[in-house]
Structure 1
């Protein structure tokens, strides 16, 4: 993962794929900000929305699926209900059977240059459903093509996640 200073300098332009999420009353905790578990839920949601839309993933029946190998979140400032979060997704590393995603969370309406509120890192290891092991040939070619498209900035999407959740 990048250094804390590098992560704090992230802007929306660093993320080719973005989705919006309208925070809910239930997202806040007793400290009057969005609970840390909700960040992970949102990061997982933006990753899976991308995989379903651009990589051919169909979670109930795809012959391959991801296993979560690692998660980390760097929190820089809070967001709370009733704000809208903008979630940015990029690929920071793509291996034979593993992919490292980076997700930035921004507050909508904060302006193009507003500071990132949090940055998460998720690592998926892709396995065959029947064996629960990575394929010796690596990940599915359609999956890899979608991930490479995101990594290389060829896939960009800006639509609302709120309608999907």
Structure 2
């Protein structure tokens, strides 16, 4: 069950967002968005931010992000034909890792519907091991721009 703090998340708690128009095929047999679609949205917003704002070019970069942990707290259902806003922030940055938080909101409603977490470890493409110096400077600077304040974290 989601904590009270997670349930109280609002759009203003996040620093980057994307809009997603649900599709008929996003619904499952219970007439709400399937769990796998939430993870698709998490992956999409994280990688969109990394490419657009952190200078990451996955096909040619020597450093890549591997997902080592993810989870989702489902708070309220969403179903087709909703339009959702997927919102992103960074909760923690390590030497080679980053912990993202993703909020999912329905258009016109400030109450969060789901809150996810996604952890990337940035590694060298060939060795699959973290670089000695950690993640690159451009990447780190981009992630710092959407980092949540200490008091706003879980």
* TM-score (structure 1 length as normaliser): 0.87
2 CA distance for matches of 1:86 and 1:80? 13
2 CA distance for matches of 1:149 and 1:109? 26
RMSD: 1.2
2 CA distance for matches of 1:109 and 1:85? 9
**What aligned pairs does 1:112-123 form with structure 2 within 5 A after superposition?**
114-123=110-119
What 5-or-longer segments of structure 1 have no aligned partner?
154-165
**What aligned pairs does 1:78-97 form with structure 2 within 5 A after superposition?**
78-97=77-96
Residues 61-115 of structure 1: CA deviation (Å, up to 9, x unaligned):
11100011100100000000110010110000000000000000000022xxx31
Q: How many correspondences in the alignment?
A: 148
Match of 1:9? 8
Match of 1:163? none
User: 2:68, 2:119 within 8 Å by CA — same for their partners in 1?
Assistant: yes
Match of 2:58? 59
Q: Report deviation, 1:152.
A: 6.1
* TM-score (structure 2 length as normaliser): 0.93
Q: Report deviation, 1:30.
A: 0.7
**What aligned pairs does 1:28-67 form with structure 2 within 5 A after superposition?**
28-67=27-66
Q: Report deviation, 1:131.
A: 1.4
Runs of 4+ in 1 over 2 A off after TM superposition: none
Match of 1:144? 140
1 CA distance for matches of 2:126 and 2:73? 35
